Amino acid sequence: MNYQDLANLIFPDVKDSSYFEEKYPNRNLKEGAFVTRFAPSPTGFVHMGSLYTSFSNIRLARQTEGVVFLRIEDTDQKREVENGVEGIINDFNNLNIFFDEGPTQGGSYGPYIQSERKEIYQSFAKKLLQEGMAYPCFATEEELKNLREMQELNKERLGYYGSWAKYRNLPVDEAIAKIKEGTPYIVRLKSPGDFNHKIVLDDCIKGKIEMPENDMDIVIIKSDGLPTYHFAHAVDDHLMHTTHVIRGDEWVSSYPIHHQLFQVLGFEEPRYAHIAPFTIKEGNTVRKLSKRKDKEAAISFYHQNGVPNEVINLYIATVNNSNFEEWYINNPDKTVDDYIFTFDKMPVGGSLFDLDKLMNISKVYFSKLSAEEIYNRTLEYTKQYDLEFYNLIKDNKDYLVSLLNIERNIERPRMDIGSYSDVKRQFWYMYDELFDKVDAPYKEVSYSYDVSFIKEYLANIYDENDTEEEWFNKVKDYASSKGFATNRKEYKENPEKFLGNIADFCSIIRVMLTTTNTSPNMYDLLKIYGKENLLNRVDKFLKEIN
């Protein structure tokens, strides 16, 4: 009995590995094109961390006219979640992110779901068995536990390796007999490595990292017949012709295993780029952004709040390459797709996730959109998330567009909208239906003098047809007649002689309409809201504050 018999007993029906080598030939791409992949386990959704990793894979493939594919890594069936695959694909669709190949669109190197590639992995495991580079291991839970205890007691390195690997040198005949008896087993690599040898990972982002060679007889095929992550990674990235494995840096320490697998399988090794994760400050410590703990890790958080996909993309680009931000400022008409990303500009250590920065990017982004565009997208957003506002704006486009146009098409446009939900937050007071729902809208407001003259101003002085200049001159004259100083110097010299200065007068009108002290240009707001409505509003105002 020899290795061949053992391999045939374990995997009797699988095709020869040469079949798959032929089935998945080299890709016909131009020199220098990257083949990358995003390879999530089927967790059911995409989060900031995974989006960040997929971003680099996508950009680098696209900018080199290469290929980027989506591969679902579901070989750990204990971790299966309902709709795990569909959820991820849906999220990517909602984000307008499309891969060149993957479970839904297919491709010549599929299937792209690992559990559907069982025979492929088994075929390569069979090859290793035939060569004596893999073996069935019959260690029970109990045996592994005892092994661990012995190693701890003797202060030895933990793991299944060298002389601790009990079944490594089991004669083939005995192994065959055990299998025939029905003894459960898994398949392990017979590691040719020496822990005292060093290998070097030449990481595209982190540079050279020296590590001990792998000598662990790692599991390659589990008892359910599916491969481990390590084995599937080597087989898939070989057959799918990945040129660059761009993945989270939690995998750096597994590199010695992967390096060895590529060697024993006779595969050319891809380049590796390990991406530092998004981190977050918690008290005095910094930890990885967590999809379970941090609301801002979920993509749904941005969708629900109305932050556009493009903004998430811009933020990720900003973190991904250290000089993207400056480039984007200097090239305001370009998009992320026009920038060439390089590994040497990617952060080596974790990047603090900064929601404020993301929102600032969003405000700049919104300031460049036309009012019409914001209106259309707000309509779409509110239809899904805020039907009350949707119903108010859907048949009244011109009204909201004119509000959004206030201080928009100028050199330094307003920066007060960073999401579709901000539109309502900014302009709610311009809709009586919303205003009237607020209980005591002026509860924060009080004056040391009677402000009833505001009504007289609106009724007798204010004219909707005035130009901004005429309007302001009238405001000044009227304010002055009511005891307000019309220039700052005059007021500063004798404040006791005045009720306040012109700014205080304007503030009364502003507060009456908006309930707050900051708003877009008053002249525009008053004109858009209209005189009749103003007279209504002023009554509510005076009634509440008096």
> How far apart are alpha carbons 310 and 451 in whole angstroms?
46
Binds ligand GLU (CB under 6 A): choice among 35, 39, 147, 201: 39
Q: How far is the CB of 248 from ligand GLU (least distance, A)?
A: 6
Do 216 and 178 touch, CB atoms closer than 8 A?
Answer: no
Binds ligand GLU (CB under 6 A): choice among 84, 132, 162, 248: 248
Nearer of residues 248 and 413 to ligand GLU, judged by Cβ: 248
- Which range in 89-97, 132-140, 246-254, 367-375 contacts ligand GLU by CB under 6 A? 246-254
* Total chain residues near ligand GLU (CB under 6 A): 9
Q: How far is the CB of 39 from ligand GLU (least distance, A)?
A: 4
Which residue has the CB atom at the shortest distance from ligand GLU? Answer: 247
The secondary structure element, H or E, covering residue 417 is none
Q: Provide the mask over 53-82, with x wherever binding to ligand GLU is found by CB under 6 A and - wherever it is not.
A: --------------------x---------
- Which range in 37-45, 125-133, 475-483, 515-523 contacts ligand GLU by CB under 6 A? 37-45
Nearer of residues 76 and 213 to ligand GLU, judged by Cβ: 76
**Which parts of 111-130 interact with ligand GLU (CB under 6 A)?**
none
Bridge partners for 113 per DSSP: 72
- Which range in 243-251, 343-351, 433-441, 448-456 contacts ligand GLU by CB under 6 A? 243-251
CA-wise closest residue to 119 among 20, 218, 9 = 20
Do 202 and 172 touch, CB atoms closer than 8 A?
Answer: no
The yes or no reply on residue 234 touching ligand GLU (CB under 6 A) is no
Q: How far is the CB of 147 from ligand GLU (least distance, A)?
A: 28
Q: Provide the mask over 443-482, with x wherever binding to ligand GLU is found by CB under 6 A and - wherever it is not.
A: ----------------------------------------
Binds ligand GLU (CB under 6 A): choice among 59, 127, 188, 233: 233
**226: amino acid identity, one letter:** L
Q: What is the largest CA-CA distance in the chain?
A: 112
Peptide bond into 111 cis (omega under 30): yes
- Which range in 170-178, 244-252, 390-398, 511-519 contacts ligand GLU by CB under 6 A? 244-252
- Which range in 33-41, 188-196, 382-390, 471-479 contacts ligand GLU by CB under 6 A? 33-41
Do 232 and 165 touch, CB atoms closer than 8 A?
Answer: no
Instruction: Name the E strands within 2-52.
Output: 35-38
Token pair 């992967």: residue: 258
**DSSP labels for 65-117?**
T-EEEE-B----GGG--TTHHHHHHHHHHHTT---SBBTTTB-TT---BGGGG
Q: How far is the CB of 91 from ligand GLU (least distance, A)?
A: 15
Nearer of residues 40 and 103 to ligand GLU, judged by Cβ: 40
Nearer of residues 189 and 245 to ligand GLU, judged by Cβ: 245
Please provide residue 89's backbone torsions phi and psi, each rounded to the nearest 5 degrees: -65, -40
Binds ligand GLU (CB under 6 A): choice among 40, 256, 306, 520: 40
Q: How far is the CB of 275 from ligand GLU (least distance, A)?
A: 10
Copy the structure tokens of residue 470. 């005429």
CA atoms within 13 A on the CB side of 415: 9
Please provide residue 512's backbone torsions phi and psi, each rounded to the nearest 5 degrees: -60, -45
Do 213 and 199 touch, CB atoms closer than 8 A?
Answer: yes
The yes or no reply on residue 102 touching ligand GLU (CB under 6 A) is no
Token pair 């992949």: residue: 37
Q: How far is the CB of 158 from ligand GLU (least distance, A)?
A: 23
> How far apart are alpha carbons 481 and 499 in whole angstroms?
11
Do 138 and 178 touch, CB atoms closer than 8 A?
Answer: yes
Nearer of residues 83 and 140 to ligand GLU, judged by Cβ: 83
**Which parts of 495-524 interact with ligand GLU (CB under 6 A)?**
none
CA atoms within 13 A on the CB side of 425: 9
> How far apart are alpha carbons 158 and 164 in whole angstroms?
9
CA-wise closest residue to 189 among 234, 241, 242, 239 = 234
> How far apart are alpha carbons 530 and 528 in whole angstroms?
5
> How far apart are alpha carbons 499 and 478 in whole angstroms?
13
Binds ligand GLU (CB under 6 A): choice among 41, 191, 318, 382: 41
The yes or no reply on residue 247 touching ligand GLU (CB under 6 A) is yes
DSSP state, residue 161: B
Nearer of residues 41 and 419 to ligand GLU, judged by Cβ: 41
Binding positions for ligand GLU, rule: CB under 6 A: 39-41, 73, 233, 245, 247-248, 251
